Structure 1
Amino acid sequence: MPALNYRHLRYFRAIAREGSLTGAARRLNVAPSALSIQLRALEDALGHPLFERTGRTLKLTEAGRIALDHAETIFRTGDDLVARLKGQAAAQQVLRIGAVATLSRNFQLGLLGPLIGREDVELVVRSGGLAELLAQLAAHQLDLVLSNAPMPRDAETPWQSLLLDQQPVSLVGRARRRRFRFPADLDGAPMVLPSPASALRTAFDLLVEQAGVRPRILAEIDDMAMLRLFARESPALALVPPVVVRDELASGRLRELCVVPGLTETFYGITLSRRFPNPLLRAVLRAGSATEPRR
């Protein structure tokens, strides 16, 4: 097995950061042709192409993303020689997670809890729209996308959707009132609801329509963190999975008035088949996967 040439690795890292041979060559003060030869030598040593060309830019392959992670770790170890004497952490593994903006922060925290605080792990958590996050997953910029819905597989994008959890949905509120009668007490009741774009809202709208009641909608919110704040600060009822307002329920600031029959919130982990899967990913998915609804 050929020894790894660290000069080649340093050049590769510069190319990955700049996104082009010319940019990296300018930064390193070497000829682009010489840099190209060094990159090819590293690819030959590793046995995999590290970039694919997209116009004039170079895009990391899956092997390239893994090589960059290791390169960053390797070159951090020089700093670790000094850092260790100061009691600081050694080099870390990196896990990149994307979460749709509508996903409960409490759920994310619980899922990633086993990795939080580990000195050998660096967590990168990004929030955004599903399409944006899936594009980053396909480009090897993320290891996992957390979503409330699975993604269908097709020949072009063979998404893998693992059910991580399935939780009941409740009506919660501040008011201390008599026993809540569902669905009768929803008629005319002020409510804070998820946005109409969510599957949860669609199911709820169908339920109240079939029951012949019409709540009074005060706000429609597509961010669960903001919905939690509205539930806490407004006199309205809120439709949420209890995990979203876990702390408020525990403190008594909010009450769970009833579990909405037939409604559940699902949590999925979406990945793509990788030849070189992130070793941290398996532990997260194994800990988070659920086969039964959870309270």
Structure 2
Amino acid sequence: MRNLNFNHLRYFWAVAHEGSLTRAAAQMNLSQSALSVQIQKLEHQVGHQLFDRVGRKLVLNEAGQIALDYADTVFKAGDELLSTLRGRPIDSRQVLRVGALTTLSRNFQLEFLRPLVGRPDVELIVRSGNMRDLLAQLEMHALDVVLANKPAQREARSPFRNHLLNEQPVSLVGRPRTGKAMFRFPEDLRTEPLLLPSLDSDIRVAFDRVLELANIMPIILAEVDDMAMLRLLAREREGVTLVPPIVVRDELDAGILVEHCRIPEVTENFYAIVTKRRFPNQLLSGLLNDDAEPPSQ
């Protein structure tokens, strides 16, 4: 195999970052046809198509995203060479792109990423969003993994794989009950105000079923779809809050909140959602630890 033609790589790098042949050609003072030929030559040399055409847009495919990561590294190395010789060295780092549901526990996200936090050779990019947008980014290889508390739907042509990372109990927590009797479940829920996750939450659906079987009509103070906000309200308001204890772990450790009881047969599952790739991110492979996890769902 011949050595990589770095001119071809530079042309690809410009198109990938511009997202358009037209803009990249104008930037590099080339015709679109000439630029297209250079991209084709690079694709021929590496043995993979690097872009998919979606309408009038060029979208990086998996091989293209890998090529762009390497191209970024190559051209960054030139900057590092100049910086080093000028006495201002820059460290090279690996990148892991993580998507997380906006409603997902921040404590869980931190636990998952903890092995990489603070490593000088690793750059973590964490983006929050809804499931639909995050999965779209994952499918386009703009993310390496999506963290969620529900699996991605599996269909015949679905590219997604769900890794069950953890299963957490769900509890009723609240401020210490100074001068009050011990909390009785489910009887006290007839009179005790509740802070609950929204109806979009799987644990809310399961909890409502528990109350229905107990013939209890709850007094609902608030329904919140953001676990961080639910955590803050649990600290500030009277009543009890339905959450996985990991969400309020710091408050429980500090005694600001106490765990009144765990809800039988109600749990929250945490998933890492990935796509099958020919070029997996090695940082992610280390976090998933496939040999130790339950089978993909």
TM-score class normalised by the smaller sequence: over 0.9
* Range with bigger deviation, 175-184 or 251-260: 175-184
Equivalent positions of 1:118-197 (< 5 A) are: 118-176=119-177, 177-197=180-200
Q: Give the superposition deviation at 1:288.
A: 11
User: Equivalents in 1 of 2:196, 2:84: separation in Å?
Assistant: 50
Q: Which residue of 2 aligns with 1:93?
A: 94
CA contact (8 A) 2:138 2:144 kept: yes
Equivalent positions of 1:213-224 (< 5 A) are: 213-224=216-227
User: Equivalents in 1 of 2:88, 2:115: separation in Å?
Assistant: 23
What amino acid is aligned across from residue 261 of structure 1 in structure 2?
P
Equivalent positions of 1:13-32 (< 5 A) are: 13-32=13-32
What amino acid is aligned across from residue 131 of structure 2 in structure 1?
L
CA 1:88–1:266 in 2, change beyond 3 Å: closer, same or farther?
farther
User: Equivalents in 1 of 2:108, 2:192: separation in Å?
Assistant: 28
What amino acid is aligned across from residue 80 of structure 1 in structure 2?
E
Q: So what's the TM-score if we normalise by structure 2?
A: 0.93
CA 1:216–1:287 in 2, change beyond 3 Å: closer, same or farther?
farther
1:228 counterpart (222, 228, 231): 231
CA 1:214–1:175 in 2, change beyond 3 Å: closer, same or farther?
farther
What are the Cα deviations for residues 59-85 of structure 1, in whole angstroms up to 9, with x where unaligned?
A: 101100111111112222223235557
Equivalent positions of 1:1-295 (< 5 A) are: 1-81=1-81, 89-176=90-177, 177-286=180-289
* Range with bigger deviation, 74-83 or 6-15: 74-83
* Residue segments in structure 2 that go unaligned for 5+ positions in a row: none
CA contact (8 A) 2:163 2:293 kept: no
Q: Give the superposition deviation at 1:268.
A: 0.7
User: Equivalents in 2 of 1:2, 1:279: separation in Å?
Assistant: 27
What amino acid is aligned across from residue 74 of structure 1 in structure 2?
V
CA contact (8 A) 2:147 2:273 kept: yes
User: Does the residue aligned with 2:158 lie in a helix, a strand or coil?
Assistant: coil
User: Equivalents in 2 of 1:88, 1:247: separation in Å?
Assistant: 39
Q: So what's the TM-score if we normalise by structure 1?
A: 0.93
CA 1:220–1:18 in 2, change beyond 3 Å: closer, same or farther?
same
* Range with bigger deviation, 168-177 or 105-114: 168-177
* Range with bigger deviation, 244-253 or 67-76: 67-76
Aligned length: 291
Cα-Cα RMSD: 1.8
Q: Give the superposition deviation at 1:178.
A: 2.4
CA 1:88–1:116 in 2, change beyond 3 Å: closer, same or farther?
farther
User: Does the residue aligned with 1:260 lie in a helix, a strand or coil?
Assistant: strand
CA 1:212–1:172 in 2, change beyond 3 Å: closer, same or farther?
same
* Range with bigger deviation, 34-43 or 171-180: 171-180
